[in-house]
Amino acid sequence: MNLLLSMMLSSNLLFILICIVDFICGKQFNSNWKSHMLKISFVMAVVPIVYFKYYFIMPILSFLKVSAKHSNASFSGTDLLVITAPRGVNITLSLKWEIIIIFIWFVIGTTSFLLRVYFYLKQNKLARQSMTIVSQSKILEILYRHKAELGIRKKIVIYTCKGEFTPFTCGVIKPFILIPGNLKEKEINYVIHHELCHIKYHDNLFIFIRLIVVALYWFNPLIYLMDRFVERECELACDELVVKTHDLSERYEYANLIINFSILDNKSQDPLSMFFCKKQNCIKERMYYIMRPKNMNKKAKLASFFIALCMILCSSLSAFAYEVPSNAKVSEANGKPVFIDSKEVIEFHTSNNVARDSYNITKILFEHQFVGKDGTVYNAENLTPNAACDHNYVSGELTSRIKKSDDGCEVKYYNAKRCTKCGAIVKGSLIKTVTYVKCTH
């Protein structure tokens, strides 16, 4: 769960940085730059870039001998810890609860995702039943010309259908464009050019990534805001590319075509297709950028590259701060597996130089002993408290050592207090458990 939250935090942080940059100097950057940055923020929400640290950065640091070697490891019961022992694998209580939360999380997200995919398949099936392939040479000539201009090599089929509806592009591997049968030649030119821009920018593939992100982080309102922003910027980026070489009168015709399609009530619009115009799109903003397209100069392009790089690096810091759950391999005592309670701290010693460890400064002289604040060690075995004693307790630490059958031992440390008069010891809460692979006491 921490991994998913760190990915979500990185994605949200990049989105916030994009909004800040857009607010401060958005007039200098075009919609294509913003749409690509928003797409990167969505990708960061599903790609665990933290593993780049473990599989690329850490091996390099290890090769350069930058990282230190640790022979001992200390864990708390609240840590996400996987314990591998001869009789099986155990996990800490914190990790168990995290697994339960993740399971509920994924059930809700997966259900949402599958419902949307089902709706898409259903609408796609209904649309295909009434579609007919376009074979007119004029329309195919428009398709081939714009494909060559945009550098698209995929095979793309154009279908037509009766009735009034918004044209759309569907499919990732084998994309197709569906257009109404009552369009004029110039309108078909604008529509095909716009839909091919979606294919060039891989917007149909990105729709699936958006759905996965929304399904994963369904509880985060910022994700829905990101989804609306990226859909808007994708449309603006395509509009920007379409009108790039058009004069003012042609841009006016293109804008008027979008307004006409926005009036239509397209109830069959599915969430996995890129439509020429949707009602929820900001029509006013599209009109503004169509009539006044942004053209970035070389300096703006270079600045946008370095700003994008800095933003991505800054937003990645939270992901790189994530630590994967630890895996500790331990032995067992008398066939009993090792468990760590939520209030327990356990330290595993894997070498013979444990005497240098801070927990082993006081020598263990007895199986059960009391260590006072001054370091004095008292035998704590078989001590019966004197009922008639007027106790005078001093604080200290109680140590209990349990030998294992595999030459190892386990030492438990407790808060305790000892009567200075009768020697009675009252055991308190457990502080930590130290497991030694080989007993050196």
The domains of the chain are located at 100-316, 344-436
Using a 10 angstrom Cβ sphere, with 0-12 exposed, 13-18 middle and 19 or more buried, the burial of residue 305 is exposed
Q: How many CB atoms lie within 10 A of CB 51?
A: 13
What residues have CB less than 8 Å from 278, skipping those under 6 apart?
166, 262, 266, 269
Q: Hey, what amino acid is at 6? A: S
Residue 400 near residue 367, CB atoms below 8 Å: yes
Q: Please name which of 212, 205, 235, 332 lies closest in space to residue 35, comparing C-alpha atoms.
A: 235
pLDDT, residue 231, reads 87
Rounded CA separation 409/349 (Å): 10
Q: Are 16 and 37 in contact (CB under 8 A)?
A: no
> Buried b vs exposed e over 416-427: b needs ≥16 C-beta within 10 Å?
bbbbeebbbbee
Output the tens digit of pLDDT for each of the chain's 441 residues: 667 777 888 888 889 998 898 888 767 778 888 899 999 999 888 887 766 655 555 555 455 444 444 445 555 555 555 555 555 556 666 667 777 888 888 888 888 888 877 877 777 677 677 788 888 889 999 999 999 999 998 889 998 887 777 888 888 888 888 888 888 889 899 999 999 999 999 888 888 888 889 988 988 999 999 988 888 888 888 988 998 888 888 899 998 888 888 777 554 555 556 666 665 557 888 888 888 766 677 777 788 888 888 888 887 776 666 555 555 555 444 444 455 555 555 555 544 443 334 344 456 778 888 888 877 888 887 667 777 788 888 888 888 888 877 677 778 888 888 888 888 888 888 887 777 766 766
DSSP codes of every residue in 383-403: PPPPTT----EEEEEEEEEEE
pLDDT value at residue 360? 44
Closest CA to 233 of 197, 179, 187, 209: 197
Backbone angles phi, psi at 188, to 5 degrees: -60, -40
Task: Compute how many other C-beta atoms are within 10 angstroms of the C-beta atom of residue 22.
Answer: 17
| E-assigned strand segments in 174-295 | 176-180, 274-275
pLDDT at 325: 54
Q: What is the pLDDT of residue 197?
A: 92
Q: Where are the beta strands (DSSP E) in 290-352?
A: 326-329, 345-349
End-to-end CA distance of the chain: 41
Task: Quote the pLDDT of residue 73.
Answer: 54
